[in-house]
Amino acid sequence: MKSSSTLTVTTRTLELAELGEESALPSVQPLLAPPYTVGEGVPEEILAGVRWGRANNLYPYSMQENYTRETSATELTAVALENAHIKATFLPGLGGRLWELKDKASGKDLLHTSDRVQFANLALRNAWFAGGIEWNIGTRGHSPSTCSPLHTAIVRTPEGQEVLRMWEFDRLREVVFQIDAWLPAESKVLFTAVRIRNPNEKTVPMYWWSNAAVPQTPGTRVLAPAKQAFLSNYDGAMSRIDPTNVEGVDVTWPVNNGQAADFFFDIEPQERRWELAADADGDGLAMVSSEQLRGRKLFMWGESTGGHRWQEWLSPSNDGEPRRYAEIQSGLAQTQLEHVPMPAGASWQWVEAYGNAALDPALAAGAWDSALTHGAQRVETLVPRQGIADALSDAGRWADLPPTELLVAGSGWGALESGRRQHSDMEWVDESGTPFGAETLTTDQSPWLELLRANEGIVEKPFEASAAEAPSQPFGGAVSFVRGLDWEDLLTAGRNLSAEAAFHHAVMVHARASSRAADLAVVVGLYDRALGGSDAGEAGTGGDGIVGAGAPLSERSRELALRGKGLALLAAGEVKEGLHHLELACSTTYGTRALLIEAMTLAVENGAPQMALDLLANGPEAVASLGRVELLQAQALADVGESGQAAAILRAGIEVADLREGDNSIAELWQRVCPGEEVPGQYQFSLR
């Protein structure tokens, strides 16, 4: 009997933490610096990629940081692709995560997953969760879309193949990406095709990594066709190594690694692009791709106390048994420190295949060269080179086929971008296969859409006299943020002038400003203009915005303008004035939890612990019980000499839901205020 393949829209109930509302603070703060630098023995090609393309910040994205550690049973939309050999389950509402991949012959789950989705601070926008295969685009780190819904639809091809399509507009690089997934009836591998399109008139730095979490057992070994790799860990260095002999240790067995580390395999150009993780039976995930995905990486948390703590933190066990995992990954560049230039107007596409490697366990555990030879043979049996080539050809033919059935709506930013580019006569993508419908627009986009409509047909540059003849329609403000010089032109046009327009223009300039004093002075001046003058930040003076140009700043925008000015002053080295403006921002009646935490953090970091304590004393009572705030309070108390009170807070027990990856500040504070006492296991997050 001929086998079949099905695509089923269903649901999956998981214990899920509430993600919470996105932060109201515009993301103008610089991204955290990489935890390591490039050392000797690294090729110039990698060095060039490291030096170029890093994003200054995540603007216009906002942070996803208002989650907790509490979970509840939540029903999620799921899409299952299944045939006689494998079953794949996707979660479109959580970044399109490929959540499960079950091999029916062995009965094994090829991916590490959990019945509990626990958010933690590992992504570019903060929130991230472990498990499955995730898709990372834009710049180094876990993608801005990793915890957000993707537009999702079913596409039926002329050949009768059902394809799951997921797509979104990436606001950081202003490109469109799509992921097509399909499972042929007789196939032992799931195929995914990724396409990225750059509609811009300039080259953009591009980054893509597919990250697969795989079960880590004492018998797990990772293979990739390379004799050398580039090792990076949390000590700040990156070096070329032999992965089978790192100070006498074969690190291709994740259990052998004492510390968290990344290994980027140095695969020769003529080799096939594959990587696999085989357990003691030889079973495990094989990731095989077309040539464009050059990079292959192994990540493990390590066998240290901190490494184990992080795994418990990310994948809590319901039965008390630890659930360890490692990650095998594939990317555009050789390492994750690099960006690849994507030319103006370019469209890139590649294919990946996922299935059970099914190795002979004795050969997989043997000498490296023999294990690689055997691995390459099994990969060729699982999915031949021609099979990848055929899949890539199919993906190219299907890429622009229109969706047959829409399943999940992503954000409305793609629809707004389409309108923006039409208004400004800018190039855009063909939306046939990836529509950004008007029905996806929300209140986040509506003020900006109205700004476009109010200026429709006005083709002159806003600063030209003819454009100024248009009727005055002061911009009424928005709770969301956008970027682009064309938006700045609209906001600074006389007909749209308002305090809110001046505020949003200041934020846009702040987001693209360099760290040079002259640039920061311009930013401070623009915030002053929105606030109504250089003295407008003082309580009871000025602050009515731009006279004669509509309403004054809303309380929310006033708070954010004061905050923006404070950040710019801090960046310029004017610490006292910068902290003063943050304090003023926190004193507004609007007030936000995110601002209070940020201001307390910056006060502690800049030697003003008493300010942090004063902010807490004057802030909302509900904020005081947050783990992050309790940690900041304890740090500030220690800094003002109240070590006993700080120790009491730690001994009572705190849980910082958004503790940053690699952050060991709780343990460090414990050692400081509880000298001679062993750090409790719950506070040991060190990865060094």
3-state per-residue secondary structure call for 429-472: CCCCCCCCCHHHCCCCCHHHHHHHHHCCCCCCCCCCHHHHCCCC
Within the chain, how many helices (H) and strands (E) appear? 18, 26
Q: Report the sign of the C-alpha dihedral through residues 395, 401, 406, 410, in that order.
A: positive
The closest of 561, 520, 525, 570 to 543, measured between CA atoms, is 561
Partners of 209 in beta bridges: 136, 331
Are 218 and 224 within 8 A, CB to CB?
no
Q: What secondary structure letter does DSSP report for 552?
A: P
Q: What span, in angstroms and rounded, lies between the C-alpha atoms of 38 and 54? A: 15
Residues in the chain: 688
Write down the pLDDT at residue 91. 98
Q: Is the peptide bond before 60 cis (omega within 30 degrees of 0)?
A: yes
From start to end of 21-157, where are the E strands?
71-82, 86-91, 97-103, 108-109, 116-117, 120-123, 126-128, 133-137, 151-156
Q: How many other CB atoms sit within 10 Å of the CB of residue 478?
A: 20
- Specify whether the CB–CB gap between 296 and 334 falls below 8 A: no
Beta bridge partners of 175: 170
Residue with tokens 């990793």: 146
The terminus-to-terminus CA distance of the chain in angstroms comes to 56
Amino acid, res. 379: V
Task: Match 């692709």 to its residue by tokens.
Answer: 81
Q: Where are the alpha helices (DSSP H) in 168-218?
A: none
For residue 260, CA distances in Å to 200, 232, 424, 661 come to: 38, 9, 48, 11
Residue 539 has what pLDDT? 41
Q: Give the span between the Cα atoms of 26 and 71, in whole angstroms.
A: 28
Region for 160 from its dihedrals, namely left if φ exceeds 0, alpha if ψ lies in -120 to 50, beta otherwise: left
Residue 281 CB neighbour total at 10 angstroms: 15
Identify the bridge partners of residue 135 per DSSP, sorted by sequence position. 210
| Neighbour tally for 168: CB within 10 Å | 28
Please list the rounded mean pLDDT of every run of 10 residues in the chain (688 residues).
85 95 96 67 82 93 96 97 98 98 98 93 97 96 97 97 98 98 98 98 98 97 97 82 95 96 95 98 98 97 95 86 93 94 98 98 98 98 98 98 98 98 96 98 98 83 54 91 97 95 98 96 98 60 47 93 98 98 88 90 98 95 94 98 98 97 95 97 92
DSSP H stretches of helix in 22-61: 44-51
Q: Of 673, 664, 652, whose CA–CA distance to 305 is shortest? A: 664
- The amino acid that residue 646 corresponds to is A
What are the residues whose beta carbons fall under 8 Å from the beta carbon of 61, sequence distance 6 or more?
27, 124, 125, 144, 171, 172
Q: What is the pTM of this model?
A: 0.95
- The residues, any chain, with a CB within 8 Å of residue 104's CB and separated by 6 or more, are 84, 85, 86, 87
Instruction: Provide the 10 A C-beta neighbour count for residue 550.
Output: 18
The SS3 of residue 496 is helix
d(CA 454, CA 475): 10
The owner of tokens 């090729």 is 43
Q: What's the rounded Cα separation, in Å, for the pair 339 and 94?
A: 25
64 and 126 Cβ atoms separated by less than 8 Å: yes
Quote the CA–CA distance of 455 and 197 in Å, as a whole number. Answer: 28
Bridging pattern class, strands 204-206 and 340-342:
antiparallel
Q: How far apart are CA 16 and CA 420, in angstroms?
A: 36
Q: Of all helices (H) and strands (E), which one includes residue 347?
A: strand 347-356
φ/ψ of residue 446, rounded to 5: -60, -40
Q: Which residues contact 450 (CB under 8 A, 6 or more apart)?
A: none
> Which pair of tokens denotes residue 24?
């109201």
Cα diameter, the chain? 83
Residue keyed to tokens 């995992």:
325
User: Among 94, 60, 83, 75, which Cα is nearest to 166's?
Assistant: 94
Closest CA to 139 of 195, 200, 204, 231: 204
Q: How many CB atoms lie within 10 A of CB 463?
A: 11
For residue 153, give both structure tokens: 């639809």
Contact (Cβ atoms closer than 8 angstroms) between residue 130 and residue 216? no
How many CB atoms sit inside 10 A of residue 416's CB? 25
Neighbour tally for 54: CB within 10 Å: 16
Q: φ and ψ at 501, to 5 degrees?
A: -65, -40
Distance CA 667, CA 678 (A): 10
